[in-house]
Amino acid sequence: MRAVIFSDEKKLDNLDIDNNLPDEKGIVLSVIASGICGTDLHIIEGEGNLCGNVILGHEFYGSIDKIEAGSKVQCLNGNVEVGDFVTVVPGIICNECTYCNSLPLNENYCLNRSVFGLNMRDAKSNIVYGGNMEQIFIPEKFYLYKVPKSWPLGLATLLEPVSVAVKTVKRTLKYVENIKNRSLTAVIFGLGTLGFFIGTKLRKCGVKVIGIDPEKSRRDRALRNGIEDVFSYEEMTEEFYKKYCKNSWNGIEADMVFEAVGKPDVFAYALHFARKGGVVMEVGNFLFSGNAEISPNLICNRELIIVGSVLADANSYFEAEEILEEFVDKSSEVICNYEVDEYEQAFRSALSRTEGLKSNLIF
Ligand SMILES: [Zn+2]
Ligand SMILES: [Zn+2]
């Protein structure tokens, strides 16, 4: 079967590999599409320390080929049978570590999370495997989520990243006090997949949102999809922002500021955009990308609340599905499909990070 492998020599390759699926309990999935995530790109660029051959991919969905006899299949939104389309919540907790024991609702805290495309190893070949392959075995402990068959090809790879956006917004809103006589406001730094869908979710919550991104195509897309205002970094100086708040937001800076770029300097800059008592959410620096110089005085005097968020929770898939329903008739706004033979182009387009579209490999 076909698989796109990130090899030991740090090169991507499209190979035919043996199809030796294990005889354990679980399901066999024929992968339809697998999305290329920012995390995958960081790995390809040498961050994170994965060694050996890796089949990347944690944002995939497919059609169920086989349910091994006696498997307890766990699907979040109904029962499944052979032929159904499902995506997989790519990480699962160990249920044994101290975090799992004491904070069971925070599934992303688990010390031994198994994640497809990051640390799930095939027992026979010892290869780390994920969704960038034609057929994948999903052990029964993983949660499935049923995907509407009527959705356009590739759209469902976004269920995972949109769940991350949903969870990020929910976590941020927990820290915002009730306000009176006006709508909540937010600034998002970075309008890639994550920033874009944070904006979509905020808009659904009635929040007024502005986005900041250097790429015009990303800014235009955000505008077309309901973000109130967009700016480049050149336009959005601190002085300009003050004026903007005065004219549009009753003179008060944003209740929430999201750093979804993944650059330390942007985080330091973003602190200046929150109102007194406002929340600054760091969600972009999932992998280490350096340090930033920040002013403790600013945090103290303005009583800033600084919060981080990483990964999604299984609960957020339901809201992610609702959000993606909006894009069923305009999926080209959010995804771009490539045949598996065009994998180099798919990764190149993802690496260029200009469009902000999710690049999918189609199997
Ligand atoms: Zn991802
Ligand atoms: Zn655990």
The pLDDT of residue 48: 67
Distances (CA, A) of 256 to 241, 305, 359: 14, 9, 29
Percent of the chain surpassing pLDDT 70: 99
Do the domains spanning 2-147+327-362 and 163-308 agree at the CATH topology level?
Answer: no
Q: How far is the CA of 282 from the centre of ligand 2 (A)?
A: 24
pLDDT at 257: 98
Per residue in 69-113, pLDDT tens? 999 999 999 999 999 999 999 999 999 999 999 998 888 899 999
Residue 166 is predicted with a pLDDT of: 98
pLDDT digits (tens, 9 = 90+) for 238-251: 999 999 999 999 99
CA of 295 from ligand 2 middle (Å) equals 35
* Strand blocks (E) in the chain: 2-6, 12-16, 26-35, 59-67, 74-75, 85-88, 91-92, 114-115, 135-139, 143-146, 185-189, 208-212, 229-231, 254-259, 274-282, 305-308, 335-339, 358-362
Crossing angle of the two packed helices 159-173 and 316-325, in degrees rounded to 10: 110
Residue by residue, pLDDT tens for the chain (363 residues) are 899 999 877 788 888 887 777 778 999 999 999 999 988 888 888 776 677 789 999 999 999 999 999 999 999 999 999 999 999 999 999 999 999 999 988 888 999 999 999 999 888 888 899 999 999 999 999 999 999 999 999 999 999 999 999 999 999 999 998 889 999 999 999 999 999 999 999 999 999 999 999 999 999 999 999 899 999 999 999 999 999 999 999 999 999 999 999 899 999 999 999 999 999 999 998 878 889 999 999 999 999 999 999 999 899 999 999 999 999 999 999 999 999 999 999 999 998 877 768 999 999
How many angstroms is it from 54 CA to the middle of ligand 2? Answer: 23
The Å distance, Cα 95 to ligand 2 centre, comes to 5
Taking the centre of ligand 2 as the mean of its atom positions, its distance from the CA of residue 82, in whole angstroms, is 31
Strand pairing partners for 143? 74
Q: Which ligand is nearest to the CA of 116?
A: 1
CATH assignment of 163-308, among 3.30.360.10, 2.40.30.10, 3.40.50.720, 3.30.70.3420: 3.40.50.720
Q: 8 C-alpha vs ligand 2 centroid, how far in Å?
A: 29
What separation in angstroms does the CA of 181 have from each of 174, 253, 304? 19, 15, 21
Alpha helices in 114-188 (DSSP H): 159-173
Ligand nearest to the CA of 286: 1
- Give alpha helix (H) positions in 8-153: 38-44, 98-102
Domain ranges of the chain: 2-147+327-362, 163-308
Residues 229 and 237: their CA atoms lie apart, in Å, by 15
What is the per-residue pLDDT for 80?
96
Give every CB contact of residue 260 below 8 A, 6+ residues apart in sequence.
188, 189, 190, 191, 192, 194, 195, 198, 283, 284
Question: Ligand 2 center to residue 313 CA distance, Å?
Answer: 14
pLDDT of 15 reads: 82
Ligand nearest 89 Cα, by number? Answer: 1
CATH 3.90.550.10 fits 2-147+327-362, yes or no: no
Cα of 90 from ligand 2 centre, angstroms: 15
